[in-house]
Amino acid sequence: MDKITIIRRIKVKAIVTERLKQELVQQIQEGIKKMEMELSFLEQRNKKALTELTLKASPQVQAVREQFEWEKKKREEGKATLLEQLKKINVLEEGQEVLQGEVEGPVEIKLGDSWDGVLDKEIVIKDGVVVNIR
């Protein structure tokens, strides 16, 4: 066998522009709003469940409280992470390249190919347009 096709990860980088910063801020603010809505829903559901279980004198009250606290903590941590990302966006400078994600793509490898050349691939985008493939 002289060649094989494999799937490899390709980094996607974005050039920071004012438009990109605005889009990122909007996405993060939507994520924060979603976390707040989930927290509110959890609190309402928890109150209702605890009230019902307390009236029934159920032994599950403590387990429900613990589950609620765990769910609440998870969402509060997510919200804190989003707030931290929001701060980092303000520090980004225009023209700077930032990692936006990864995609997977096939590549054919032949005998004698450079392994570094196979793995080190990047796509650079600016305002949603591919400006470089390297």
89 and 100 inside one domain: no
93: DSSP letter:
P
The range of the structural domain enclosing residue 11 comes to: 1-17+94-134
70 and 131 inside one domain: no
25 and 3 inside one domain: no
For the record, the structure tokens of 28 come out as: 């993060």
Q: pLDDT tens digits for 52-82?
A: 888 777 788 888 889 999 999 999 999 999 9
The total of structural domains in the chain comes to 2
134 and 99 inside one domain: yes
84 and 24 inside one domain: yes
25 and 79 inside one domain: yes
Whether pTM > 0.85 for this model: the answer is no
9 and 53 inside one domain: no
Q: pLDDT tens digits for 105-133?
A: 998 899 888 888 778 889 999 999 999 99
87 and 54 inside one domain: yes
